[in-house]
Chains A and B, each alone.
Chain A
């Protein structure tokens, strides 16, 4: 492990005990994520991509192997505010304004009132929602709500963003727009992002590395280093290079799928 590694998983195993017997959600997962990486996890449902994200966030306990975040256990990393988590649904509190929602983690973590206001203003600007702080969630579109939930995860200066299909419930036009914004945000803040998706174009467009996973048991079948430049306009999706990477991801998914059958 070198100085720039932020997440390191070694022989990670996770078995859920269910009513239908044990389910092998993760098996022998080895992966390291470097500082500033944008890593996408892609695979069919049940491949453990969300589970892996939850293990990094200490929302699940692995049954074997180790995982470290910033060199610490995930629980310690959580106490040190190492990461912000963005869920598939925005999950904003309907009784709080947008600013109030972004203030929620800051209140819990005990920031001063003045610092809360300053941080809320700053992240609202980052996600392009200036002037919407006083609105209630129902007054915003789905895409704006999801941006507010990203702002909420950015407020306390976590170095790592864990995003679990954050745009999965949005339509394609909104999703394209948010993907561009997310890349811009990533370039500006230099955060490390782990991003779960089941969309091949989204994974290829966003990532510096694409982790292809397959189910039963959930495991990594391929890790693709993207040769695309960090600065990416939407048109890059029509280049031969982009299509070639997308093809390799698709092949990886197909191979994993036929293994399972």
Chain B
């Protein structure tokens, strides 16, 4: 409880900074609108205003400041505008409505979870293979690393096009992109986790004449659990990014990515920001949920 006050102070500072930043970002637009509406602004002509620094315009037109936080299409929407939009599009709309963020969030979330499941399963299988087989270690690991050096934004359209040409569309292509991003942290974390038992532990199993499979089930997998959860937290966030990126190149009609895209087409910055926040809140909730599962599992294992 002692940390509540400092946390609130930091949050308040960030919000204050945001409001302050909105003033210079939006002041030109506000003055242009005011001029069109026939109000008095300094300097009076748009051409002259373009010559001036934004701070000069703010100082010369202090009366315009409140309007910078209330524009319909601001360059940088104020926090309360984003909050109002978030509230309006979640609590204010039926969840089946195309304008509901809950609807769009679920479209993205379902692809995220499917991709995360595929990526995690694939990652664990690859890690087990890499640890058990020298050949896989030398042949698969380099490709796993190379796979992550290609920008996903360049690869995503190709994945969607290739899958579409074989008749796969809808949630699967997005899930594939999610899986592509999330398998990697799982592979890296699990390889480290499966190799975490020391030489003495492995020697002990040898004195029992244990098979490789017994070593995996009884020693390596349980020992890798803390590593797995650290990887899963990175993996689920990467999955969400993958699903959103997967919604961009198709001009998808649903999902948080589609909201971002539509918002940028029509200059709806408030919509973009609220979709961004929805994605961030979703990611935080997923990571938090994994943290909770981690605590439960490790406590059940007796190691936390």
Chains A and B form a bound pair: yes
Chain A residues proximal to chain B, CB less than 8 Å: 54, 57-59, 78-79, 83-85, 87-89, 91, 93-97, 104-105, 107-109, 136
Please tell me if the beta carbons of B203 and A97 are within 8 angstroms of each other in the complex.
Answer: no
Contact B218 A87 (CB under 8 A): no
A57 lies within 8 A of B302 (CB) = no
Bound Cα distance A89, B199 (Å): 12
Q: Which residues of B contact A (CB under 8 A)?
A: 200-201, 203-210, 214, 218-219, 222-223, 225, 301-303
Cross-chain contact A78 with B209 (CB below 8 angstroms): yes
User: Is B218 a contact of A83 with CB atoms below 8 Å?
Assistant: no
Which 5 A-B residue pairings sit nearest by Cβ, starting from the closest? A95-B301, A85-B207, A136-B302, A105-B208, A108-B210
Q: Tell me the dominant secondary structure on chain B's binding face.
A: helix
Total A-B contacts with CB atoms under 8 angstroms apart: 48
Q: What chain B residues lie within 8 Å of A83 (beta carbons)?
A: 207
Smallest Cβ distance from B301 to chain A, in angstroms? 4
CB of A67, distance to nearest CB on chain B (Å) = 16
Residues of A within 8 A of B302 (CB): 94-97, 136
- Residues in B with CB closer than 8 Å to A88 are 200
What is the CA–CA distance of A142 and B275 in the complex, to the nearest angstrom?
55
CB pair A93–B205 under 8 Å, yes or no, is no
In the docked arrangement, what's the CA distance between A108 and B219, Å? 11
Contact A87 B206 (CB under 8 A): no
A91 touches B214 (CB 8 A): no
User: Closest Cβ of chain A: how far from B206's Cβ, in Å?
Assistant: 6
Q: How far is the CA of A93 from the CA of B225 in the complex (A)?
A: 13
| A166 nearest CB across to chain B (Å) | 12
Task: Choose among A93, A94, A108 the residue that contacts B208 (Cβ–Cβ < 8 A).
Answer: A108
Contact of A57 among B200, B207, B225 (CB under 8 A): B207
In the complex, chain B residues whose CB is within 8 Å of the CB of A57:
207
A91 touches B208 (CB 8 A): no
Out of B201, B210, B303, name the residue touching A91 (CB < 8 Å). B201
| Complex contacts, B206 vs chain A, CB 8 Å | 58-59
CB atoms of A93 and B203 under 8 A apart: no
Complex: chain A residue closest to B300, CB-CB? A95
Q: A79-B209, A91-B201, A109-B208 are in contact. List 13 more A-B contacts (CB 8 A).
A: A58-B206, A59-B203, A59-B206, A85-B203, A85-B207, A91-B200, A93-B223, A94-B302, A95-B225, A95-B301, A104-B218, A108-B214, A108-B218
